[in-house]
């Protein structure tokens, strides 16, 4: 017996009935003799509701005030779950991120955790309490409330597990584990028993929403035993570990897709040393994350640079480029929305030539145009029209032998 950290997502605590069900699951762990720390997200779509209210007041609300607003969602969840445990005869206490000792960078909306002081949590555990922590949030050294970005509760849970030396960190969600594709898009997707940190990190970065990428980075760095499970069934989940068991005959472990993609092309940049540095440092200084990058030169003095950003960051990126047009020295900016990045991932790709060629063949056969390509040792990504997302994902899933006869079940939707 020992300490277990659990994280419950928004669908898992989306109603009072589900909160009571989560309380029962926590109690089952307590009755087995475990200490339990629980990280909770905001209920259901409550974060979206808060965002919508803010946008009704201002098209560009203050990032600081948005953090003040959005952190209230998790505070509702933790208080209600703590109350549920009280009514069932178990001692529990709810803590905000800052009460739990989570210190972050002084960045609003996308802060990273700098350190965790576990003293308060350890003290409460010593009193026999279940500790319920608000995910997604912390406090900066300057005393400002911060958020970790969407999905940041996963990161809260993993880093807490690392700082508390927990036996494992269980991420409870609306699916039974990590699947070979999003079962909402591919009903023939199969659940993986194990997956490596590296494969999971690629899938998370490429749009597989079951885990936040930063949580996988933290799990790999601190060797946290990570399990993805359903909060609606008792089914075994997927273990994320250093080296996963090899899936017989599988070169590709999964197909991921990200529909939150926009393409920007900066036309007529000076073709000289330092151009790329100036362009992407300018974007980075304005908190714009860039993904796929392609440079194309059509004469000795001028170059075009294309790159992808999250669709939500498109306006910020365009505004940043417009403000810095004279300094950067480009002619104009073109952009394209309505795109998806579809990717294949698998550690077996390293030693198997022709995997990328097969991807291109499948997409061409379905008459799906490829606008950009990015590769690494264990993944290939293509940017395609968003209208063809389901066709692309299902076709690739079948082509790499990932289909199963059973239909995947998604709970809580």
298 pLDDT band, cuts 50/70/90, is confident
The Cβ of residue 300 has, within 10 Å, a number of other Cβ atoms equal to 8
Is 92 inside a domain boundary? yes
47 annotated to bind ligand = yes
- 315-345: per-residue pLDDT in tens? 999 999 999 999 999 999 999 999 999 999 9
Is 407 inside a domain boundary? no
Q: Is the pLDDT score of 394 beyond 60?
A: yes
Let me know whether 301 and 235 are in one domain: no
179 annotated to bind ligand = yes
Structure-token pair, residue 167: 């036996």
Alpha-carbon dihedral sign for residues 264, 207, 132, 76: positive
173 annotated to bind ligand = yes
Let me know whether 304 and 369 are in one domain: yes
Q: CATH no. for residue 324?
A: 3.30.2130.10
Is 406 inside a domain boundary? no
Let me know whether 154 and 271 are in one domain: no
Is 250 inside a domain boundary? no
9 annotated to bind ligand = yes
- 78-92: per-residue pLDDT in tens? 999 999 999 999 999
d(CA 391, CA 383): 14
298 annotated to bind ligand = no
* Neighbour order of strands in the sheet with 302-310: 293-297, 302-310, 254-270, 332-345, 379-385, 372-376
Q: Is the pLDDT score of 100 beyond 90?
A: yes
194 annotated to bind ligand = no
Nearest to 267 by CA among 320, 330, 322, 321: 330
User: Structural domain of residue 96, as residue ranges?
Assistant: 3-244
Let me know whether 139 and 213 are in one domain: yes
Let me know whether 98 and 183 are in one domain: yes
- 227-281: per-residue pLDDT in tens? 999 988 888 899 998 865 444 457 898 999 999 899 999 999 998 889 999 999 9
Non-local (6+) Cβ contacts of 306 within 8 A are: 263, 264, 265, 266, 293, 294, 295, 296, 372
**What domain count does the chain have?**
2
pLDDT score recorded for residue 301: 87
- 152-195: per-residue pLDDT in tens? 999 999 999 999 999 999 999 888 899 999 988 999 999 999 99
Let me know whether 173 and 38 are in one domain: yes
239 annotated to bind ligand = no
pTM: 0.82
């Amino acid at each position: 017996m020992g300490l277990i950290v659990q994280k419950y997502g928004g669908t898992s605590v989306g109603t009072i009935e589900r909160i009571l069900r989560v309380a029962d699951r926590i109690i089952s762990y307590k009755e087995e003799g475990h200490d339990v720390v629980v990280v909770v997200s905001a209920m259901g779509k409550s974060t979206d509701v808060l965002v919508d209210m803010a946008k009704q007041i201002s098209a560009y609300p203050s990032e600081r005030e948005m953090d003040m607003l959005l952190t209230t969602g998790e505070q509702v969840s933790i208080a209600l779950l703590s109350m549920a445990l009280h009514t069932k005869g178990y001692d529990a206490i709810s803590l905000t991120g800052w009460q739990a000792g989570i210190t972050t960078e002084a960045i609003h909306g996308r802060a990273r955790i700098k350190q965790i002081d576990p003293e308060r949590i350890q003290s409460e555990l010593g009193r026999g309490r279940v500790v319920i922590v608000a995910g997604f949030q912390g406090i900066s050294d300057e005393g400002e409330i911060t958020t970790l970005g969407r999905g940041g509760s996963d990161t809260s849970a993993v880093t807490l597990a690392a700082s508390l030396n927990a036996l494992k960190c269980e991420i409870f969600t609306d699916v039974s584990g990590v699947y070979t594709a999003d079962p909402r898009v591919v009903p023939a997707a199969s659940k993986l028993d194990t997956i490596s940190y590296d494969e999971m990190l690629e899938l998370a970065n490429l749009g597989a929403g079951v885990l936040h990428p930063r949580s996988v980075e933290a799990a790999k760095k601190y060797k946290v035993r990570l399990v993805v499970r359903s909060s609606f069934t008792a089914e075994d989940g997927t273990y994320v570990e250093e080296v996963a068991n090899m899936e017989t005959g599988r070169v590709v472990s999964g197909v991921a897709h990200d529909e939150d993609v926009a393409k920007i092309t900066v036309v007529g940049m000076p073709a000289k040393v330092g151009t790329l540095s100036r362009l992407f440092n300018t974007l980075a200084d304005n908190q714009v994350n860039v993904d796929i990058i392609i440079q194309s030169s059509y004469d000795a003095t001028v170059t075009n640079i294309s790159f992808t950003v999250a669709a939500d960051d498109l306006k910020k990126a365009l505004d940043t480029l417009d403000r810095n047009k004279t300094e950067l020295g480009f002619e104009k900016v073109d952009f394209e929305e309505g795109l998806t990045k579809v990717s294949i991932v698998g550690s077996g790709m390293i030693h198997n030539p022709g995997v990328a060629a097969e991807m291109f063949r499948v997409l061409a056969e379905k008459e799906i145009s490829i606008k950009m390509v990015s590769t690494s040792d264990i993944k290939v990504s293509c940017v395609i029209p968003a209208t063809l997302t389901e066709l692309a994902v299902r076709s690739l899933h079948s082509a790499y032998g990932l289909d199963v006869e059973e239909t995947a079940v998604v709970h809580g939707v």
